[in-house]
Structure 1
Amino acid sequence: MTRRRVNNPLALAVLSCLQERPMHPYQISSTLRQRGKEQSIRLNFGSLYAVVTSLEKHGLITQRERIRSGNRPERTVYEITEAGVTEFEDWLAELLRTPTADPSPLESALSLIAGLPPDEAAELLEERTTRLDLEARRIGADLEWSREQGLPEVFLIEAVFREAMVRAERDFVMRLAADIRSEALGGTSAWRRVHELRAEGVPMDEILGRAGELLGPDARILEPGHGPYEPPHRPQEPGTDPSGA
C-alpha cells in the first residue's frame, strides 16, 4: 500500500465532500452524518479539525474564505486543490483494488484464544454470536427503511457490505464455538488439560517441561510453530535460499 501523506479514512471522506463544493468543517461533518457515513467512518468534531489541519498542511486543501453568520464564531471555508483531487482519486482506487492483511481485533484475539479455558472461550464466542445477530438485524432494518424511501442502491453499498461481513463473522464464530464445545477443533483436549492443570496449581513451566507426560500426543501444540492458529512449518525446497536472495 502507498504511504499516504494523510493516512486516515476520515481524510478521504473530507476530500470527497470538498470535491462537491467548498465547505467549512461543520458543513463537512453535517454532510457526512446526514448520509450516515459515521457508520463506516469514525467521525467526531475534534478528529475532523485535526484531519482538516493536516490536509491543509500537505497542500491537499486550502482556505477559500472566512465567513460569519450572526453571532456565531467565524468559520473557515475550505476547497480542494488539484493535488487533493489527485490524492483522493488515487487513494480511493487503491483501497478498492488492493486487499490488506491488517488483522482485525477479532483476529488478534483468536491468535491468543488459548489463554482462556475452552469453555469460557466458547461462551464468550456464543455471546458474540448473539450480539452479531442483533447488529445484522439492525443493519437489515436500516437498509429496508432506506430502500422504502427510494434511496438508490449505490448509496447503500457500505451498509450492504457491513451486513454481509457481520453475517459471515457470525457464522464463523458460531461454528468455532461449537467446534470448541465438541472438541472437533484440533488440539482442544490438550488446551483444556493445560487449563485444568493450571487450576490445580501446576506451574506453566512444569507443564512445558513435562508436556509429553501430561498432555500425551497433543503435547506438540506447546512446541514452537505448533501453537493454536500458528501456520505449519513449510520445509525449504532444495536449492532455494531462505533469505529469498
Structure 2
Amino acid sequence: MHGHQIRHNAQTDRTELWSDVKVGSLYGALRRMADEGLIEEVRTEQEGNLPARTIYQITEDGRLELEALRDATLRNTRLAPDPVDLALQVGEDMPPHQLRSAIEDRLLALSAELERWRRLREMSAPYLTPVESLGFDHTSMRLETEVAWHERLLKELPTPPRDGAETSADQEDRHVREES
C-alpha cells in the first residue's frame, strides 16, 4: 500500500482508539521503518494529477519484528504505574479543596470518556468481529474501574469545610488571587 491508503485504513479502523499511533505521524513512521529495513519501497504510482505515491510492503525482517512485538505484548502482564498515584503520594501540601476539585474534574472527564466509548461501541457493534467486540469491552471495563476508583477516592478524601469557614489554605488562595 501507499501512505495514503495506510492513512485511510487507519482512519477507517479508528486506529487512535486502540493504539498510540497518530495518523498524522504516519509518513515519518514509514520513512523510519524503511530506514530500519522493516518495510521496503516496491514502486511509485501516479494516477492522473494526483501526486506520485510510493508503494510499500513489509519485509521479512518487518514480519519478524511484528511477530516479536505482538508476542511480547501478549505476554506482558505488568501494569504500568499510574502517575496519579505518585501525584497523590507527594501531594500532601496540596490544599484539600484543590485536590478534591482536581479529582472531581478527572472523574467527570473519565465518565464522559466512558460514555463516549459506550456510544462508539454501540454504533460499531454490527461491524465488529468477536475479538474487536472484546477489545471494546476491555477498554470499557478499564474505564468503569477508573470511574469507580475515583468515586471511592472522593469518598476517602477529607471534605473541606462547607459552612463558609475559610481554611488557612483558602485564605492563602484568596490572598494570591486578590494580589493578581
Same fold (TM over 0.5): yes
Root mean square deviation, CA, Å: 2.5
Corresponding position of 1:52: 30
Larger Rg: 1
Distance (Å, rounded) in 2 between the aligned partners of 1:74 and 1:107? 50
Q: Is the 8 A contact 2:107 2:150 kept in 1?
A: yes
* Mapping of residues 85-164 of structure 1, within 5 Å: 85-100=63-78, 102-147=80-125, 149-164=126-141
Which consecutive residues of structure 2, in runs of 5 or more, have no partner in the other structure?
Answer: 161-166, 174-180
Q: In the alignment, residue 34 of structure 1 is paired with which amino acid?
A: T
Q: How many residues in Structure 1 have an aligned counterpart in Structure 2?
A: 166
* Mapping of residues 197-236 of structure 1, within 5 Å: 199=172
Q: In the alignment, residue 22 of structure 2 is paired with which amino acid?
A: L
From the two aligned structures, give the one with the greater helix fraction: 2
State the TM-score, normalized to the length of structure 1. Answer: 0.61
Corresponding position of 2:143: 166
Which consecutive residues of structure 1, in runs of 5 or more, have no partner in the other structure?
Answer: 1-22, 184-192, 201-245
Q: Is the 8 A contact 2:42 2:57 kept in 1?
A: yes
Q: Which 4+ runs in 1 deviate beyond 4 A?
A: none
Change (3 A) 1:111 1:153: farther
Distance (Å, rounded) in 1 between the aligned partners of 2:135 and 2:15? 9
Q: How far is the alpha carbon of 1:123 from its aligned partner?
A: 1.9
Change (3 A) 1:154 1:101: closer
Q: How far is the alpha carbon of 1:54 from its aligned partner?
A: 1.1
Q: Is the 8 A contact 2:11 2:23 kept in 1?
A: no
Corresponding position of 1:43: 22
Distance (Å, rounded) in 1 between the aligned partners of 2:136 and 2:4? 24
Distance (Å, rounded) in 1 between the aligned partners of 2:74 and 2:92? 35
Aligned partner (choices 19, 22, 25) of residue 3 of structure 2: 25
Q: How far is the alpha carbon of 1:108 from its aligned partner?
A: 4.4
